[in-house]
């Protein structure tokens, strides 16, 4: 008898997340004292064991909000989140927090300024337990895992370089040996050479420890370097997903194609291909009718103005939300 297949590590099904904002001009129009902003809708994705899923999208597309919702830091309006085949509920969130970790966008700001590095990296044990018998030795071991020398334990966050702060946040994220780590813009603000070091560190951790990562970024180079699969978010909805190599080779959604075509070429001798996406990302308060990308789409047809496309499978493991793709 063969053992039953293990469920994916993390599954998001039909997630919707609305935020209720205090009254404003729209509330007056709606004759209500509050307004509801739909930030994310119809999000379904899964992260397999030991894989890295990259989530890419312009600023404001909802990447950070999705990450926070997946870690139970923001309440979802509808849908289902599960880990190891078990639905996440308010009752078992504490268990989730132990098995997951988040690396925040701004590492120095996410570290308490009055605590020394040694205390910062071991703080998760103090919060979640058990307390280490020798806290200083545990700190040194954690720092060694991310390539930092033991004397770093005495420093304060403001004494760290951007790359060192990133490593300290990584050490802190690893403390409780999580199965799943979400890294929000892991290379933001770092020099190119340091960016490479941090991405290599994350790749080694995935390789050696089998940790699953969700990497969220607007930087396609980061996704190419790290991710087995990619999801593209536009205005709070997934518009394409699939294996990274295939999506880069033959993007199915015009938005993905525009993002890839306007990616800066690392070789300055080659001309950058200009297929920049026209216009700004629309306001969440005025979501376009039909396909929400139609106002910026180079190939939109009448149907795109009128009918909202759903996410459909175009090949095994590849999905796209576009009437005209495939
Ligand atoms: N607390 C909030 N109240 C109102 N709107 C919010 C709130 N948090 C996020 N938003 C809105 O939700 C949308 C998604 O924001 P989010 O930070 O998730 O985007 P992002 O893709 O991570 O952007 P960036 O790359 O700039 O971090 C934005 O339009 C943002 O203004």
* pLDDT for position 269: 53
Considering the domain boundaries, does residue 282 fall inside one?
yes
Dist. CA 222–CA 227, nearest whole Å: 8
Q: Is the CB of 60 within 6 Å of ligand 1?
A: yes
Number of CB atoms found within 10 A of residue 60's CB: 17
Residue of 18, 24, 54, 64 to mutate, ligand 1, most atoms within 8 A of C-beta: 64
Considering the domain boundaries, does residue 187 fall inside one?
no
Dist. CA 202–CA 131, nearest whole Å: 26
Considering the domain boundaries, does residue 18 fall inside one?
no
Burial class (CB in 10 A: 0-12, 13-18, 19+), 38: middle
For 284-317, what is each residue's pLDDT tens digit?
Answer: 888 899 999 999 998 999 999 999 999 999 999 9
Q: Is the CB of 251 within 6 Å of ligand 1?
A: no
Considering the domain boundaries, does residue 11 fall inside one?
no
Looking from the CA of residue 233, the nearest atom of ligand 1 is: 21
Which residue has a Cα nearest atom 26 of ligand 1? 59
Rounded distance from Cα 63 to ligand 1 centre (Å): 8
Q: Is the CB of 140 within 6 Å of ligand 1?
A: no
Which residue has a Cα nearest atom 9 of ligand 1? 65
Q: Are 41 and 16 contacting, i.e. CB atoms less than 8 angstroms apart?
A: yes
- Residue 213, H or E segment: strand 212-217
Looking from the CA of residue 39, the nearest atom of ligand 1 is: 12
Q: How far apart are the first and last CA of the chain?
A: 40
Q: In DSSP terms, which residues pair with 128 in a beta bridge?
A: none
Rounded distance from Cα 41 to ligand 1 centre (Å): 14
pLDDT band at 106 (very low <50, low <70, confident <90, very high): confident
**Number of domains, the chain:** 1
pLDDT band at 30 (very low <50, low <70, confident <90, very high): low
* pLDDT for position 228: 96
* pLDDT for position 6: 81
Burial class (CB in 10 A: 0-12, 13-18, 19+), 130: exposed
Considering the domain boundaries, does residue 180 fall inside one?
no
For 197-207, what is each residue's pLDDT tens digit?
Answer: 889 989 988 99
* pLDDT for position 272: 46
* b/e burial code for range 241-263 (CB count within 10 A of at least 16 → b): bbbbeebbeebbbbbbbbbbeee
> Quick check: 24 pLDDT over 80?
no
Q: Are 173 and 76 contacting, i.e. CB atoms less than 8 angstroms apart?
A: no
Domain hosting residue 262, numbered range: 247-326
Which residue has a Cα nearest atom 25 of ligand 1? 59
* pLDDT for position 35: 79
Rounded distance from Cα 151 to ligand 1 centre (Å): 38
Considering the domain boundaries, does residue 304 fall inside one?
yes
Q: Are 20 and 36 contacting, i.e. CB atoms less than 8 angstroms apart?
A: yes
Considering the domain boundaries, does residue 174 fall inside one?
no
pLDDT band at 27 (very low <50, low <70, confident <90, very high): low
Rounded distance from Cα 60 to ligand 1 centre (Å): 5
Q: Is the CB of 64 within 6 Å of ligand 1?
A: yes
Whole-number percent of the chain with pLDDT over 90: 63
- Does the CA dihedral 19-281-220-268 come out positive or negative? negative
Looking from the CA of residue 283, the nearest atom of ligand 1 is: 29
Considering the domain boundaries, does residue 129 fall inside one?
no
* pLDDT for position 29: 57
* pLDDT for position 32: 55
pLDDT band at 128 (very low <50, low <70, confident <90, very high): confident
Q: Is the CB of 63 within 6 Å of ligand 1?
A: yes
pLDDT band at 326 (very low <50, low <70, confident <90, very high): confident
pLDDT band at 276 (very low <50, low <70, confident <90, very high): low
For 219-250, what is each residue's pLDDT tens digit?
Answer: 999 999 899 999 999 999 999 999 999 999 99
Contacts of 134 (CB under 8 A, 6+ apart): none
């Amino acid at each position: 008898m063969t053992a039953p297949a293990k469920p994916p590590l993390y599954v998001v099904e039909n997630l919707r997340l609305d935020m209720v904002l205090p009254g404003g001009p729209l509330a007056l129009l709606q004759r209500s004292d509050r307004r509801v902003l739909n930030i994310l809708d119809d999000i379904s994705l899964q992260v397999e064991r030991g894989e890295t899923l990259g989530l890419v999208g312009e600023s404001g597309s909802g990447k950070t909000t999705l990450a926070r919702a997946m870690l139970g830091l923001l309440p979802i309006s509808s849908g289902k989140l599960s880990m190891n085949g078990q639905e996440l509920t308010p009752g078992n969130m504490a268990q989730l927090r132990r098995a997951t970790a988040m690396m925040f966008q701004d590492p120095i700001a996410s570290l308490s300024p009055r605590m020394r590095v040694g205390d910062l990296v071991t703080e998760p044990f103090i919060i979640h337990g058990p307390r280490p018998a020798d806290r200083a030795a545990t700190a040194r071991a954690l720092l060694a895992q991310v390539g930092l020398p033991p004397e770093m334990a005495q420093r304060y966050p403001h004494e760290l370089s951007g790359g060192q702060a990133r490593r300290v946040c990584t050490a802190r994220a690893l403390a409780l040996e999580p199965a799943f780590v979400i890294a929000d813009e892991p290379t933001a603000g770092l020099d190119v050479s340091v960016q490479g070091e941090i991405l290599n560190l994350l790749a080694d951790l995935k390789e050696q420890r089998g940790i699953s990562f969700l990497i969220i970024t607007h930087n396609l180079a980061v996704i190419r370097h790290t991710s087995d699969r990619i999801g593209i978010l536009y205005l709070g909805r997934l518009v394409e997903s699939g294996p990274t190599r295939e999506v880069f080779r033959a993007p199915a959604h015009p938005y993905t194609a525009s993002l890839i075509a306007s990616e800066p070429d690392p070789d300055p001798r080659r001309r950058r291909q200009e297929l920049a996406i026209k216009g700004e990302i629309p306001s969440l308060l005025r979501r376009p009718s039909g396909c929400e990308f139609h106002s910026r789409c180079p190939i939109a047809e009448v149907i795109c103005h009128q009918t909202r496309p759903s996410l459909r499978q175009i090949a095994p493991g590849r999905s796209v939300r576009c009437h005209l793709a495939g």
